[in-house]
Amino acid sequence: MTAQLEAPATGATREVKGSRRTLKTWGSGLVSADVFESGLAPFGDTAAVVVLDRAEHWPRLLDSGVVGADSRVFVPRAEDSGPSPLVMGYEGSLSDPGGEVQVGASFFLQTQDYGTSEYLSLIGATLVRVVDEADLETFLDDADRARTTGVFPEFLTHHLVALCDVPALGGRYAEDGPSLRLFVDVNGAISTSPSGLRLGEVGDDFATLEKEWLRLNGAGELPCSVCLGAAISDEVRVPAITARPWLSRYHDAIAGIRHLRGREIGFDHEIQVSGFGARMTPELADVDAPADDRSGAPTLLWTADAAFVHSPLTDRVFRLEREAGAVVERLMVHGSVDAAAGPVPEETLLQVRDFFARAGLPLCD
């Protein structure tokens, strides 16, 4: 078996990398492993990333204690300052689909609604938002199609795209909430996203915002009730997400494809994902209740030339020979060496299992 840990992309300036990745984390509601030290946001009693729609609210927000020394704050037309907190000015709108913002001298970011993204040209870093029930239906249709056919929306798997508000769309429920991200609208109302339920207003302290976020989510049947709550009611969202318990794996599969496409591996739907339309080993398609449907499990992807194991928790990827990839798939689908034993020698299964366990990517029990 051969394995190789893919190295991070290089060549971008520190300013562009910081702004792009921070805003992707803010938009998605998921902590991006390459934004914060050791992959962990500075969670505590202040917000890690804050976006304001109007600069006039910045002084009162700062005085309220919501922003701390480790916060990263985006303020319209502000002069960059910091690093405690790090304040970055921007031009444009981060809340209106169809808008574009400029951060610094060279970084541009678009925002698009989900329903029209398929038909628009991608010209750079883009946040894609589900803005209404029609968008939610289109998103779910795309997910269903990928699950049965293995064909993913091409725009959504581009490495420059981030889907917004993933915790409300069936993604892994991480640390979304006021400690990760906040948005302050034109009137000074505060939520975690432009489509989110109101948590308070400028001047409220962090404890007030956190308490309201916990109350609203505690009343919901499925996380996250806040970040899309102003655009889509839980009466519509919850049944649709609950009916698809595999949606977190769909988000993980998209992350894996993005990782490979960002390294120019696989184009024109060449990348396939185990459990979505097919298996590398066809007989595994008949396994009932496959173990790799669990949230956070590694994702197995393959092309005509190689197989790849991607960790959705750390965005690490291993490249394997296809033969080794088939062994990985057997372990992941069956969930244990004993259940996977048969066509593959137990010694080989143990070798592969232990290799990935040492690397911090457990394939099975």
Domain ranges of the chain: 3-242, 247-358
- Over residues 220-241, the pLDDT tens digits come to 667 789 999 999 999 999 999 9
pLDDT reported for residue 15: 39
The candidate with the shortest Cα–Cα distance to 154, out of 297, 54, 261, 9, is 261
Instruction: Flag whether the pTM goes above 0.85.
Output: yes
Specify the pairing of strand 126-129 against strand 107-113. parallel
Q: How far apart are CA 128 and CA 97, in angstroms?
A: 8
Please check the confidence at residue 14 and state whether its pLDDT lies above 80. Answer: no
Q: How far apart are CA 170 and CA 63, in angstroms?
A: 35
3-state secondary structure of 108: strand
Please check the confidence at residue 131 and state whether its pLDDT lies above 90. Answer: yes
Q: How far apart are CA 205 and CA 122, in angstroms?
A: 39
Q: How far apart are CA 16 and CA 170, in angstroms?
A: 29
Q: Which residues share a beta bridge with 301?
A: 273, 308
Please check the confidence at residue 2 and state whether its pLDDT lies above 60. Answer: no
Q: How far apart are CA 85 and CA 67, in angstroms?
A: 7
The candidate with the shortest Cα–Cα distance to 192, out of 221, 231, 161, 157, is 231
Please check the confidence at residue 11 and state whether its pLDDT lies above 50. Answer: no
Tokens of 217: 């989510």
Please check the confidence at residue 59 and state whether its pLDDT lies above 90. Answer: yes
- Over residues 118-130, the pLDDT tens digits come to 888 777 899 999 9
pLDDT reported for residue 229: 95
E strand or H helix at 289: none
Q: How far apart are CA 341 and CA 167, in angstroms?
A: 36
Percent of the chain with pLDDT over 70: 90
Across the range 201-215, mean pLDDT stands at 96
pLDDT reported for residue 119: 85
3-state secondary structure of 220: coil
Please check the confidence at residue 104 and state whether its pLDDT lies above 70. Answer: yes
Across the range 197-205, mean pLDDT stands at 98
Across the range 165-179, mean pLDDT stands at 85
Tokens of 338: 């004993």
**How many contiguous H segments (helices) and E segments (strands) does the chain have?**
10, 15
Tokens of 280: 């590398």
Please check the confidence at residue 353 and state whether its pLDDT lies above 60. Answer: yes
